[in-house]
Amino acid sequence: MTPDRWSRIKDAFADLLDLPPEERPAALDALDADLRDEVAALLAAESDAGSRPDDPLAPPPALFDVAAAAAALPPDLVGQTVGPYRITGHVGRGGMGEVYRAERADGLHDRPVALKVVRADSAAVLSRFDAERRILGRLSHPGIARLLEAGLVAEARPWIAMDYVDGEPITAFADARGLDTAGRVRLLAATARTVHAAHQNLVVHRDLKPSNVLVRTGADGTPEPVLLDFGIAKLLSEDDDLTATGERPMTRAYAAPEQLRGEPATTATDVYALGLLLYELLAGQRPFADASSPLAYEQAVLDTDPAPPSRVAEASTGTGRGLRGDLDTICLTALRKNPQERYASAEALAADLQRYLDGLPIAARPPTVGYRVRKFVRRHRVGVAVTAAVVALLVAGGVLHTARVTAERDAAAVAQARAEAVSEFLVGLFEASDPTGDGRPDASLREVLDAGAERLASDLTRQPDVRSDLMRVVGTVYASLGLFEPAQAQLDDAISIARRAGATDVLAEALLQRGNLDYRIGRFAPARAALTESLALTERLAGRDAERTATVLNSLALTDEALGDTTAALRAYERIVAIRRAATGGHPDRNFAANLSNLADLVRNRGDLVRAESLYAEAHRNLTGDVGRNHPYVAFLLNSRAGLYEDQGDVAAARADLAEALRIGLDAFGESHPFTAVVLHNTGTMEAAAGRTAAAVAALERARTIRRQIGDPDLAETEAELAALGR
């Protein structure tokens, strides 16, 4: 029984089942002679089983009687002949028996096969083996090891021969070749598409794990994942007898919550296992791999939400930056406890992975203006802004704070005066390049900063608190200009010197800016550590309800949100808003507006659109009352609020906010600026969704031009949107 012949028999059998019973004999006589007897036997078995005449999915009868499979086998079959195959080596042992490497003894072909022989005496195991034979017989896909033949050993013990896959487990393959994130995602996407093909044949694998997904190298050098071992697979057209009897054949480390609870497996079970494979490929370990016992592991799977893979990778190898955001979301969506909350299919998971690879918004997160703008803004906003101007304000605030505290130390009064003068000079230079003020970019600022950093390497050694604070200022300005390496060096030196000098106030400020820098470059775990220490020091100095505490809390909340801990972020934002509300006493305040906007972003992401709208409105009133209607901060806020309007389906309101944001942004930053590109991109995608193709193309082409000019990493996203519009 070759695969091709079996496929022809199945097709003919299905065609006959579609006919009325009285027309089947004539159709049977019309078949090719080499198919007629087998199809007739299947029709007879169909009738005996009492299956519905119109059900083409009823399984064919077993090729052997599993109840008769009781004969003992030699301990080692290597060198022996099983059916037409000579066994040449041992491959491995599974739950149902042994797997061997074999070749045709009759020389019909020379390709190796994997030959599985069942050894267990359990009737349930033998039934599963027979089910695997039937399942593999109905699956035809290049990513699934094919069934070649089946038979009996010594007329009693069943065997099946399948394609031999010369590959490695998917995780080992990726690690051995040092695949980057994109390469690992491609492997999992291909695997998910193959699993979807099995699901379309009404087959759930139920035991997806690295050893059952082997990756071989294709003729063109492309990695090819291949699924193995459908030994505990379930046909969706059949009753789940294993669950009904309480038996739970599974690999516990890759089992879904419903499997651990003894509930029926569905296609969502395989989606969960694919999520585990993706997590392990990205983070280097499974989410609950460190559980202390099997019981603790099951409790963790059932009750605990896994940490984002980016957080695990960052903590273990410092490589989590590239996983944050979309990949975290994709992975954690596949790993939802409730099967109904996961991806609707393995194909949906594969599609989202492909969207990530193509630079497109993923389906697991609504492709709203707010989501698209956060892909830019969250990378650049430290505190409340996407430009160097806000850091200038933070620097100025920090200098005044430090100057005040330093002035209280009698022994350092002279050093304090000098520090204040030098700091004000640096801040003045920075403000000269501030696009939100009256100045214009100053190309010599980098040179001034470099000279200042060089001087600080040797100056003020007898005033370590002043020296460390100036290093903090220089490091903060470096960071505001995107010069991250010298910024890190200055801030690390400032922290080290402040610790040795016992300058708690300077240390708190330096840790805040170091945390902000780590957040900005995507190193969220170190950012949280620095900001947590800064918060503790600040609360000790300023009191739990102080303005300064709110500033540190804002950075910590943004970091918690980036790490996926929205509960902690929400608590922090609520506390910040309470502090700011009490401090402002109802007077307009730009910092309070920024906090309100951040809180609005978060509650909108959590689905509370009504409260988000109220918070955005309050933020807008505070901001325009403080800085007027034409300030860049207003543009940032309008860009975010447009996302809410799009969520609510109010395209006209979203369009108005984006148009106003673009007008303000152009006045403040000019055409060739990342923020201008973001607003134009979001305008284009919104217009495309509204069916206004011409307006969409015009905005997107303008955004593409800007992003090409400035080397914006989001260029691919704009190009993908234009490609979708045929441009």
Distances in Å between the Cα of 550 and the Cα atoms of 425, 513, 534, 544, 582 are 27, 14, 12, 9, 11
User: How far does Cα 487 stand from its chain's mean position?
Assistant: 29
Contact 198, 139 (CB under 8 A): yes
305 is catalytic: no
Determine the angle formed by the axes of helices 651-669 and 632-647, rounding to 10 degrees: 160
Q: DSSP per residue over 607-629, as a string?
A: T-HHHHHHHHHHHHHHHHHHH-T
Tell me, letter by letter, the H, E, C secondary structure of 455-472. Answer: HHCCCCCCCHHHHHHHHH
Closest of 303, 235, 226, 231 to residue 58, by C-alpha = 235
The tokens for 629 are 């209607």
| Widest distance between CA atoms in the chain | 111
Residue with tokens 């992003």: 707
Is residue 312 within 8 Å of residue 320, measured between CB atoms? yes
Q: Angle 693-697-698 (CA atoms, 0-180°, nearest 5)?
A: 120
Task: Report the candidate in 517, 586, 587, 578 with the shortest Cα–Cα distance to residue 547.
Answer: 578
Catalytic position from the list 207, 493, 626, 712: 207
Pair 595, 576: CB distance under 8 Å: yes
Chain centroid offset of residue 172 CA = 20
The token duo for 95 is 């739950």
Neighbours of 110 (CB within 10 A): 7
The percent helix, strand, coil of the chain (3-state, each to 5) is 60, 10, 30
Neighbour-count burial of 67, counting CB atoms closer than 10 A to its CB (0-12 exposed, 13-18 middle, 19+ buried)? exposed
* Among candidate residues 364, 683, 191, the one with its CA nearest the CA of residue 701: 683
Residue positions annotated with a catalytic role:
207
